[in-house]
Amino acid sequence: MMIKNILKGVKAYTGTFKLINKLGLWKYFGVPMAISFFTAALIGFSAWGLSDNLGAFISKIWFWEWGSETFRTISEFIGALIIIAVGLILYRHIVMALSAPFMSPVSEKIEKYFYGATHSHRNTSNAEQLWRGVRINIRNLLMELLLTIPIILIGFIPVVGIISSVLLFLVQSYYAGFGNMDYTLERHYKYAESIQFVRRNRGLAIGNGMVFMLMLLIPIVGIILVLPLSVTAASTETLRVLENTKTVKGNLK
């Protein structure tokens, strides 16, 4: 079931360009794309400057003269890895939190297109959407850091380090997908209910987030387009699950 949902989350990206063009959604992505670009640039320059300093700090734990140069090189690599991992985490949560007031209308238009305007929604203002985005992303940031730190430490163990890289990717994918799905969930569920929904559908979150993370590897273009495509994909799949849930509940009555 988990694998099946991950594949659904990935497959949801098919046709996102077509849907965005058809519904005229690009105008909503202007500010979020700018936020994404400048946040990535700021974190990127910060990481470039801090990696050497962190590497030097880590290298101090090696007290012996022999092998010091080798350990210094390894320390700089580890420092860069930590900075990149933490930088990606901060980037995602900052962008997702600040983009909430712009992404919620996108999700709502997609919902109206597929299911009409008959659904009952929670009425929220832009300020409430921003606060919801900040609250969700601070919560997810803390949870992700708690998981990421031990996974990075496990990576220092020979052979096991390969597994830690996969785990790190899956954790970051899950929380990326979580943030994308919440732009839809905020209209239907309260804070705690949304967390439970994503846990029940973690495969969809991981699948959506995997493509999100891979897109960030594409220079400049990936950073600019990642939010429009990932939010559109997450909205279509989240709405599908919500619609199926309502159908099941209706049949049980």
Closest residue by Cα to residue 168 from 178, 182, 155, 187: 155
Contact 33, 228 (CB under 8 A): yes
Are 102 and 32 in contact by the 8 Å Cβ rule? The answer is yes
DSSP state of 218: S
Query: Given pLDDT bands bounded at 50, 70 and 90, which one contains residue 197?
Result: very high
DSSP H helices, 189-220, are 191-200, 202-215
Write the DSSP string, 114-183. HH-S-S------HHHHHHHHHHHHHHHHHHHHHHHHHHHHHTTSTTHHHHHHHHHHHHHHHHHHHHHHHH
Instruction: Decide: helix, strand or coil at residue 15.
Output: coil
The pLDDT confidence band at residue 130, using thresholds 50, 70 and 90, is confident
Which segment of 43-52, 91-100, 224-233 scores lowest on mean pLDDT? 43-52
Rounded CA separation 135/240 (Å): 25
Residue-wise pLDDT for 97-129, tens only, equals 888 888 888 999 999 999 886 555 666 677 888
What was the pLDDT predicted at 22?
Answer: 95
So what's the pLDDT on residue 202? 95
More confident residue, 227 or 130: 227
CB 207 within 8 A of CB 8: yes
Looking at residue 249, its pLDDT comes to 47
User: How many whole angstroms separate alpha carbon 155 and alpha carbon 163?
Assistant: 8
Per-residue model confidence (pLDDT) at position 72: 66
Distance CA 39, CA 30 (A): 14
- Pairwise CA distance, residues 105 & 147, whole Å: 32
Query: For residues 100 and 231, which has the higher predicted lDDT (pLDDT)?
Result: 231
| Local confidence band at 143 (pLDDT 50, 70, 90 cut-offs) | very high
Span 161-183, pLDDT tens digits: 778 888 989 999 999 999 999 99
56 pLDDT band, cuts 50/70/90, is low
Neighbours of 73 (CB within 10 A): 12
Residues 6+ positions from 89 with CB-CB distance below 8 Å:
141, 144, 145, 148, 172, 175
Q: How many residues does the chain have?
A: 253
Which residues have CB under 8 Å from 17's CB, separation 6+? 229
